Amino acid sequence: MSEKIEIYTDGACLGNPGRGGWGAILIYKEHQKKISGGEKETTNNRMELQAVIEALLVLKKSAKINLYTDSTYVKDGITKWIHGWKKNGWRTANRKPVKNSDLWQLLEAETVKHQIEWIWVKGHSGNHFNEIVDVLAREGAESI
């Protein structure tokens, strides 16, 4: 696990729910890989999660990762809330089913393969790579 990879992710939704898109950029040394996609009927939170999952699926082996997201839902969900959800049988503290549990479970399965530092960045604040993935996510939504 010697590689240090930077990943920026974003999700977008035209209507919520509505057409949605996700985008990610993976950066390793001087190499960059941009990926994106979309779905016809989804939510912004599902697209935020999908962006991270798709980015991690690109990696062929375990890595050290700085993962940047402007979604507190994703960052807090994977670093704080998921442990309680699992303990409660994928239910919230109020005993309601966890929204997007299918994607949370996929995300967790991918995160255990890597050493990830989760970093929140403010959206639309001029962060170069965050702006790139914002465009990728919007293009993903518009292409559906």
Active site residues per annotation: 10-11, 48, 70, 124, 134
3-state secondary structure of 55: helix
CA–CA distance from 1 to each of 34, 62, 76, 82 (Å)? 22, 6, 24, 24
SS3 percent helix, strand, coil of the chain, rounded to 5, is 40, 35, 25
43's CB contacts (< 8 A; 6+ apart) are 13, 16, 17, 20, 100
> Residue 62 gets which letter from DSSP?
-
Closest CA to 58 of 108, 104, 24, 97: 24
